[in-house]
Amino acid sequence: MLAGLFSAVIAGLLVGLQNIFNTRVNDHAGTWSTTALVLGLGFLASMLLGLVFEGTQLFVLEHIKTWHWFSGLIGVGVVVCLVQGTKLLGPTFAISIVLTSQLGFALLWDSLGWFGLEKIPFTTQQLVGVLVIIGGVIVFKFGGSQKTDKVKKVHNQMKHAAGR
């Protein structure tokens, strides 16, 4: 369990850092060029690390199913929805909804155990935990400060939208 928590912490740190880096690229190169670069590099890095840890075993794809090849399209859906949501609502409001929805669906997924993942029965305690986290997200995001930069970011995004 500790290893699981630790890997989630590392993943979160890297996501935060990556978002900041990607925003810098996005400021110049726009959504789609940035997305292509980000996914292309992610692909190369995954392949390299896969080769390091598993050798040519990486290319043994015996049990691959057709739908696996299409799962990458979800990422494109993420980008479209994030960009549109942020443009229409502004980052603070948009991100709060994104995080809330993310947690809500995670809870739903655990309780239903779809896709043959291990089922974690739904309890009131879990619901309370998720609601407290969402409360924390709202306090964090709407709790004053950091207004100027956000206004600037929205402004930039609008500029991109207009320039396209």
Structural contact between residues 157 and 87, judged by C-beta atoms closer than 8 angstroms: yes
Q: How far is the CB of 87 from other proteins (least distance, A)?
A: 8
Q: Is 85 in the site for other proteins (CB under 8 A)?
A: yes
Structural contact between residues 50 and 43, judged by C-beta atoms closer than 8 angstroms: no
Q: Is 154 in the site for other proteins (CB under 8 A)?
A: no
Structural contact between residues 100 and 136, judged by C-beta atoms closer than 8 angstroms: no
Residue from 56, 66, 144, 157 that binds other proteins (CB under 8 A)? 144
Q: How far is the CB of 1 from other proteins (least distance, A)?
A: 6
* String marking each residue 1-30 x if it binds other proteins according to CB under 8 A: x-xxx-xxxxxxxxxxxxxxxx-xx-xxxx
Q: Is 161 in the site for other proteins (CB under 8 A)?
A: no
Residue from 56, 63, 66, 162 that binds other proteins (CB under 8 A)? 63
Q: Which contacts qualify for 156-160: CB closer than 8 Å, 24 or more apart?
A: 156/27, 157/83, 157/86, 157/87, 158/87, 160/26, 160/30, 160/31
Please list every residue from 92 through 121 that binds other proteins, using CB under 8 A. Answer: 93-95, 97-107, 109-110, 114-118, 120
Q: Is 55 in the site for other proteins (CB under 8 A)?
A: no
Q: How far is the CB of 38 from other proteins (least distance, A)?
A: 4
Q: Is 162 in the site for other proteins (CB under 8 A)?
A: no
Q: How far is the CB of 111 from other proteins (least distance, A)?
A: 9
